[in-house]
């Protein structure tokens, strides 16, 4: 605020509280509010725009513009300067607004003479309710203190709007969405399982009744006391014998504890209290700013960690309010539905009450997904809008194998789901009967059926599923879930535990595939237009060889005389492979010179996921001990279609003639060099029984799949006769058409090949 206004934002907040306490209409109070803000900030214009249905922003009150424009001027989100502020959820500070490319002139407002513009979003949580603006005729830059003051006012205003006293919040609902009709939502299956139960809304947010502080000194002390209490509760969670946290779940909560002890967070909270907010309002203000800042980045890992920050903020407000844990009212067998959830909040509920989880913002690498998998809880993520559509007590059917959630299902749907659960149980029982049987076809062909893994929590599934070993261990996940770079000892201990857990079964360790969409929280984010094609995986390792050598050093030490298989990702030409192989050789020489135990045998292989490598296959097969076809990345590169983009992810079929021809080229080249046994396929293609059948028909004898796919794929293999399959696949590869899927499904049906999926 300008120095002439003693007391700064605290005086303005006090006046704001007085206006909102008046017994007057919402419009009268808004009119007074814009007048007071304009006077306090020496602004000639102050306006409030609020959200209406259909992503429309409506002028609700103004001081300085034409009053007749109120409730008449409307802008779409993204339209004009006001729409841009709402779209970006970020302040916009301009000295000459009409020159901005987004400026949209509205003659009815009479804003012609005004040059300077400052607009801030009216935000609560991750929801933008409107925009608050000030303007002046002179071309001036609003200073940082003025911008901070306007943000504080907008935060208080957002809370008032959210309470529904200024606008009917029902206007923001999806048109035509009845709260009584059945609804089907499609999301991402993050932790497998099928379940049915009553919806329980995960609503840990405590309603902040008092926004403006009477005594900042008292509020600062309340904040300090709550922070101490919060930190003690997180420490107690880690020490709990009831939860018995171990492995990756413990690492997740350890990282969470670091956030709770962050001094930068504490400083920002104290600054917000000193500006005139209560401790609770300060927490909300700082978290809204954190959310907006992270959402403006292109770092997916930071965005996933936002759930942990949200969790901490909500937990701190509960400590300030002296509230009890929300888990106490959770009924047994509930389907917990949330927009976002942190790992600590999930653990608060305990292990036995939750039937399934539906979390809008969860992804496969979210901490919530890691913990859910370790607890064996079905989890579906990536479903926008379900938290608004679901009501407490609604029946929800959660299919975390297919990623579907049915709200308020009709009786026929419930019957069908119960039948599916029974069928799934029967299939699981059938798979259990062949768990210890080899994956051998009816005509005697032995298929190596391995499992993909990346966390300690995955390792028991190797034995439980009957896998031959681990065909792909993603070592980068250890780096992703921690808050600091794992030290050499940490890596060695981790890999030693992996070896110990799988016994004599073989393991293939893929070196770090960091970069792209996998950036650790402690890593430096480099903006790239095409991160999947950028500085990642082996490219980082070759530019930073110490990173690769330290990892190899840890693997050699952890092997303790066992065979060691190392797989190199994202190799695009043979020279890269040979350079990396040389670095690995240096670490072997180092271990040998120190008299350390060496692996009984060292095999070095490469992923085939970059199309350029397909044109150097003879040279590659001459130097690599084995190769693994990474179907996920290879196919997205071949078809130039981002598999994470819903708009194009289904633009190609993995059983199209192009894919079959590509795989056949690899197999044929390997056969000419008598190296077919050195080839395997990992990725989603290998884990689907029909696709796996096609791969075997082309000569692939090694597959590495998710744990849940071991049973279905093994059942398919044991029912298959490759003598009839191979000529059929050869015929389909040369046939014109978009996909061989229908013909292969017909072949399976005619020859009694079991190609059912678990889900």
* 334-383: pLDDT as tens digits: 999 988 787 767 877 776 789 999 998 787 767 788 778 767 789 999 88
Q: How far apart are CA 566 and CA 559, in angstroms?
A: 11
Question: Do 310 and 333 fall within a single domain?
Answer: no
Catalytic residue list contains 71: no
3-class SS string, 225-268: HHHHHHHHHHHHHHHCCCCCCCHHHHHHHHHHHHHHCCHHHHHH
Q: Which of 465, 554, 476 is nearest to 513 (CA)?
A: 476
Alpha carbon 65 to its chain centroid, in Å, reads 44
First CA to last CA distance, the chain: 60
Q: How far apart are CA 599 and CA 646, in angstroms?
A: 44
When pLDDT is averaged across residues 518-539 and rounded to a whole number, the result is 63
Question: Do 255 and 391 fall within a single domain?
Answer: no
Cα angle vertex 172, ends 167, 174, to 5°? 155
Question: Do 164 and 187 fall within a single domain?
Answer: no
Alpha carbon 42 to its chain centroid, in Å, reads 44
Q: Is residue 434 situated within a structural domain?
A: no
Question: Do 198 and 318 fall within a single domain?
Answer: no
Give, for 507, the enclosing helix (H) or strand (E): strand 507-510
Q: Which of 429, 685, 375, 704 is nearest to 565 (CA)?
A: 704
Q: Which of 29, 11, 20 is nearest to 210 (CA)?
A: 20
Q: Is residue 430 situated within a structural domain?
A: no
- Other C-beta atoms closer than 10 Å to the C-beta of 205 total 16
**C-alpha pair distances (Å), 427 with each of 272, 526, 674, 714:** 57, 46, 38, 12
- The conformation of residue 437, written as its DSSP 8-state character, comes to S
Residues 683-722 as b/e (b if ≥16 CB within 10 A, e otherwise) read: bebbbbbbbbbbbbbbbbbbbbbbbbbbbbbbbbbbbbeb
Does the pLDDT of residue 459 top 60, yes or no?
Answer: yes
Name the pLDDT band for 325 (thresholds 50, 70, 90): very low
Does the pLDDT of residue 759 top 60, yes or no?
Answer: no
Does the pLDDT of residue 627 top 80, yes or no?
Answer: yes
Question: Do 567 and 513 fall within a single domain?
Answer: yes
CA dihedral over 235, 241, 242, 244, signed as positive or negative: positive
Name the pLDDT band for 672 (thresholds 50, 70, 90): very high
> Which phi and psi angles does 275 have, rounded to 5°?
-75, -10
Q: Report yes or no: 19 and 29 within 8 Å, Cβ to Cβ.
A: yes
322: left (phi over 0), alpha (psi -120 to 50) or beta: left
Question: Do 19 and 142 fall within a single domain?
Answer: yes
Question: Do 167 and 49 fall within a single domain?
Answer: yes
410 vs 147 pLDDT, higher one: 147
Name the pLDDT band for 660 (thresholds 50, 70, 90): very high
Q: Is residue 574 situated within a structural domain?
A: yes
- Domain residues for the domain of 377 are 183-204+327-419
* Lowest mean pLDDT, pick from 215-219, 264-268, 377-381, 486-490: 264-268
Q: How far apart are CA 192 and CA 429, in angstroms?
A: 16
Does the pLDDT of residue 751 top 60, yes or no?
Answer: yes
When pLDDT is averaged across residues 661-689 and rounded to a whole number, the result is 93
Does the pLDDT of residue 313 top 90, yes or no?
Answer: no
* Lowest mean pLDDT, pick from 422-426, 447-451, 576-580, 688-692: 422-426
Question: Do 467 and 586 fall within a single domain?
Answer: yes
Q: Report yes or no: 557 and 590 within 8 Å, Cβ to Cβ.
A: no
Tally the domains of the chain. Answer: 5
Question: Do 462 and 596 fall within a single domain?
Answer: yes
Domain limit, last residue, from 547, 575, 606: 606
Q: Report yes or no: 696 and 441 within 8 Å, Cβ to Cβ.
A: yes
249, with CB counted inside 10 A (0-12, 13-18, 19+), is buried
Query: What's 298's domain CATH number?
Result: 1.10.274.10
328 vs 39 pLDDT, higher one: 39
When pLDDT is averaged across residues 253-258 and rounded to a whole number, the result is 64
Q: How far apart are CA 432 and CA 251, in angstroms?
A: 32
Beta pairing, strands 188-191 & 379-381: antiparallel
Q: Which of 367, 392, 406, 665 is catalytic?
A: 367
Domain limit, last residue, from 606, 632, 651: 606
Most confident of 311-320, 391-400, 531-540: 391-400
- Other C-beta atoms closer than 10 Å to the C-beta of 364 total 15
> Which phi and psi angles does 133 have, rounded to 5°?
-130, 155
> Which phi and psi angles does 135 have, rounded to 5°?
-145, 155
Does the pLDDT of residue 5 top 50, yes or no?
Answer: no
Q: How far apart are CA 333 and CA 55, in angstroms?
A: 37
- Token look-up 């901005």 returns 100
Give, for 398, the enclosing helix (H) or strand (E): strand 395-399
When pLDDT is averaged across residues 312-320 and rounded to a whole number, the result is 80
Most confident of 272-276, 345-349, 436-440, 734-738: 436-440
Q: In this predicted structure, what is the pLDDT of residue 327?
A: 44
Average pLDDT, the chain: 83
* Lowest mean pLDDT, pick from 24-28, 136-140, 215-219: 24-28
Name the pLDDT band for 754 (thresholds 50, 70, 90): very high
Q: Report yes or no: 641 and 652 within 8 Å, Cβ to Cβ.
A: yes
When pLDDT is averaged across residues 266-270 and rounded to a whole number, the result is 86
Q: Is residue 2 situated within a structural domain?
A: no
Name the pLDDT band for 520 (thresholds 50, 70, 90): low
* Lowest mean pLDDT, pick from 54-58, 673-677, 682-686: 54-58
Give, for 190, the enclosing helix (H) or strand (E): strand 188-191
Question: Do 388 and 316 fall within a single domain?
Answer: no
Q: How far apart are CA 206 and CA 123, in angstroms?
A: 17
205 vs 55 pLDDT, higher one: 55
Query: What's 455's domain CATH number?
Result: 3.20.20.60
Sheet of 183-186: strand order equals 183-186, 404-407, 395-399, 194-201, 334-338, 354-359, 379-381, 188-191
Q: Which of 316, 340, 324 is nearest to 260 (CA)?
A: 316
**C-alpha pair distances (Å), 697 with each of 447, 608, 723, 725, 734:** 12, 20, 9, 6, 14
Does the pLDDT of residue 540 top 90, yes or no?
Answer: no
Q: Is residue 299 situated within a structural domain?
A: yes
Catalytic residue list contains 326: no
Q: Which of 202, 406, 461, 682 is catalytic?
A: 682
Q: Is residue 366 situated within a structural domain?
A: yes
Q: How far apart are CA 367 and CA 549, in angstroms?
A: 28
Question: Helix or strand or coil: residue 669?
Answer: helix
Q: How far apart are CA 13 and CA 519, in angstroms?
A: 41
Q: How far apart are CA 613 and CA 622, in angstroms?
A: 13
> Which phi and psi angles does 127 have, rounded to 5°?
-115, 125
Does the pLDDT of residue 618 top 50, yes or no?
Answer: yes
Query: What's 353's domain CATH number?
Result: 3.50.30.10
Q: Is residue 225 situated within a structural domain?
A: yes
Report the DSSP beta bridge partners of residue 703. Answer: 449, 681
pLDDT, tens digit (0-9, with 9 covering 90-100), for 78-129: 999 999 999 888 899 999 999 999 998 888 998 888 999 999 999 876 678 8
Residues in the chain, overall count: 759
Q: How far apart are CA 442 and CA 404, in angstroms?
A: 35
pLDDT, tens digit (0-9, with 9 covering 90-100), for 140-165: 889 888 888 888 888 888 877 766 66
Name the pLDDT band for 743 (thresholds 50, 70, 90): very high
Q: Is residue 161 situated within a structural domain?
A: yes
Question: Do 473 and 505 fall within a single domain?
Answer: yes
Q: Report yes or no: 86 and 130 within 8 Å, Cβ to Cβ.
A: yes
Torsion angle (degrees, nearest 10) of CA 481, 483, 484, 489: -50
Name the pLDDT band for 177 (thresholds 50, 70, 90): very low
Does the pLDDT of residue 644 top 80, yes or no?
Answer: no
Which tokens belong to 56?
A: 């429309």
Domain limit, last residue, from 402, 419, 436: 419
Name the pLDDT band for 681 (thresholds 50, 70, 90): very high
Q: Report yes or no: 190 and 381 within 8 Å, Cβ to Cβ.
A: yes
Question: Do 55 and 157 fall within a single domain?
Answer: yes
């Amino acid at each position: 605020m300008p120095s002439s206004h003693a007391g700064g934002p605290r005086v303005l907040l006090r006046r704001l509280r007085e206006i909102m306490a008046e017994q007057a209409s919402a419009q009268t109070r808004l009119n007074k509010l814009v007048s007071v803000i304009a006077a306090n900030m020496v602004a000639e214009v102050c306006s409030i725009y609020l959200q209406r249905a259909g992503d429309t922003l409506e002028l609700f009150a103004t001081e300085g513009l034409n009053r007749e424009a109120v409730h008449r001027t409307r802008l779409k989100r993204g339209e004009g300067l006001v729409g841009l502020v709402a779209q970006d959820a970020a302040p916009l500070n301009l000295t000459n607004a009409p020159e901005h490319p987004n400026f949209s002139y509205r003659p009815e407002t009479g804003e012609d003479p005004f040059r300077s513009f400052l607009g801030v979003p009216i935000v609560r949580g991750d929801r933008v309710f409107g925009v608050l603006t000030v303007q002046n005729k002179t071309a001036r830059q609003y200073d940082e203190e003025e911008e901070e003051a306007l943000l504080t006012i907008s935060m208080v205003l957002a809370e008032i709007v959210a309470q529904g006293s200024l606008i009917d919040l029902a206007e923001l609902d999806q048109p035509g969405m009845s709260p009584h009709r059945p609804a089907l939502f499609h999301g991402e299956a993050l932790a497998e399982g099928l379940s049915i139960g009553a919806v329980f809304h995960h609503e840990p947010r405590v309603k902040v009744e008092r926004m403006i502080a009477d005594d900042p000194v008292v509020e600062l002390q309340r904040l300090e006391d709550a922070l101490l209490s919060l930190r003690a509760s997180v420490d107690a969670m880690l020490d709990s014998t009831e939860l018995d946290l171990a492995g990756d779940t413990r690492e997740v909560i350890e990282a969470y504890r670091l956030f709770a002890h962050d001094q930068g967070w504490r400083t920002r909270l104290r600054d917000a209290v000193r500006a005139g907010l209560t401790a609770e309002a300060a927490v909300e203000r700082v978290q809204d700013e954190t959310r907006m800042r992270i959402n403006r980045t292109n770092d997916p890992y930071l965005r996933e960690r936002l759930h942990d920050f949200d969790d901490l903020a909500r937990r701190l407000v509960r400590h300030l309010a002296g509230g009890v844990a929300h888990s106490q009212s959770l009924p047994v067998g509930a389907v917990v539905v949330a927009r976002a959830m942190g790992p600590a909040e999930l653990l608060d509920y305990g292990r036995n009450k939750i039937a399934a989880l539906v979390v809008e913002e969860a992804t496969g690498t979210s901490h919530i997904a890691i913990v859910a998998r370790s607890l064996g809880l079905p989890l579906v993520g990536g479903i926008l809008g379900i938290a608004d559509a679901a009501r407490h007590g609604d029946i929800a059917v959660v299919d975390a194998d297919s990623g579907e959630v049915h709200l308020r299902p009709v009786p026929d749907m419930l019957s069908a789901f119960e039948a599916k659960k029974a069928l799934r149980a029967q299939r699981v029982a059938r798979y259990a009967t062949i768990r210890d049987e080899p994956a051998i076809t009816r005509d005697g062909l032995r298929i190596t059926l391995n499992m993909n893994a990346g966390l300690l929590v995955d390792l028991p599934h190797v034995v439980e599923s009957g896998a031959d070993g681990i065909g792909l261990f993603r070592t980068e996940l250890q780096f992703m879930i921690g808050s600091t770079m794992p030290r050499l000892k940490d890596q060695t201990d981790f890999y030693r535990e992996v070896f110990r857990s799988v016994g004599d079964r073989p393991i293939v360790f893929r070196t770090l595939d960091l970069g792209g969409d996998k950036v650790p929280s402690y890593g430096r984010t480099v903006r790239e237009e095409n991160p999947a094609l950028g500085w990642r995986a082996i490219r980082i390792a070759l530019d930073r060889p110490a990173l690769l050598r330290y990892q190899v050093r840890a693997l050699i030490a952890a092997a303790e005389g066992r065979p060691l298989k190392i797989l190199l990702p994202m190799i695009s030409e043979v020279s890269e492979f040979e350079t990396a192989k040389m670095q690995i050789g240096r670490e072997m020489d180092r271990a040998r010179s120190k008299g350390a135990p060496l692996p009984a045998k060292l095999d070095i292989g490469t992923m085939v996921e970059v199309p350029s490598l397909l044109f150097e296959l003879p040279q590659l097969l001459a130097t690599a001990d084995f190769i693994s076809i990474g179907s996920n990345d290879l196919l997205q590169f071949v078809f130039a279609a981002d598999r994470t983009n819903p708009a194009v992810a289904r633009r190609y079929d993995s059983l199209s003639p192009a894919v079959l021809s590509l795989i056949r080229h690899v197999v044929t080249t390997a056969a000419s060099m008598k190296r077919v046994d050195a080839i395997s396929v990992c990725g989603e293609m290998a884990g689907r029984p029909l696709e796996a059948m096609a791969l075997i028909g082309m000569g692939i004898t090694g597959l590495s799949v998710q744990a849940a796919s071991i049973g279905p794929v093994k059942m398919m293999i044991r029912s298959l006769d490759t003598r009839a399959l191979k000529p059929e696949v050869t015929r389909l590869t040369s046939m014109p058409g978009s996909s061989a899927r229908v013909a292969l499904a017909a072949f399976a049906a005619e020859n009694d090949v079991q190609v059912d999926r678990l889900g």
